[in-house]
Amino acid sequence: MVEDKHLIRNAVKGYIRKSHVLFAMKEYTKALQAAQEAQDVDTEKKHTREITEQIQKITVELYNQRAGESEEETLQRAMRDPEVASIMSDPVMQQILQQAQSEPGALQDHMKNPGIRAKIQKLVAAGIIKTR
């Protein structure tokens, strides 16, 4: 049991470090993903403040980076990411996105599915889905 806690603590710190490195490399989307992985692994919530601060810092940089982009430029940039391109070409995700445009509340129901939630979060991080 003690070893498990030690491994979890190291995993959390590892994801936090990975997020910091990716942030320094200006890989903000990947840095955000690493910070979110740290948040998922931090079951004891011992690193909540550090993770939250990192996520906020990344979010500000993502916003600043995309502030001058048109929707078309955002889509072009996002589609260069193979994972985003794969999600966007998935017929099920296309249907979910179309439904979300006509019924924004439906997206909340889809977020209950962990696989769909991960894909939607990826699209939000890429700037394709905008939140208010």
User: For residue range 110-123, what is the model confidence (pLDDT) as tens digits?
Assistant: 888 888 988 988 88
Q: Residue 68's pLDDT is what?
A: 80
- Quick one: 53 and 109 in the same domain? no
Let me know whether 104 and 55 are in one domain.
no
User: What distance in Å separates the CA atoms of residue 60 and residue 110, rounded to the nearest whole number?
Assistant: 27
Mean per-residue pLDDT for 64-70?
Answer: 82
Provide the CATH number for the domain around residue 103: 1.10.260.100
Closest by CA position to 81, among listed 117, 43, 128: 128
Residues 25 and 79 occupy one common structural domain:
no
**d(C-alpha 19, C-alpha 56), whole Å:** 12
**What pLDDT shows up at residue 1?**
41
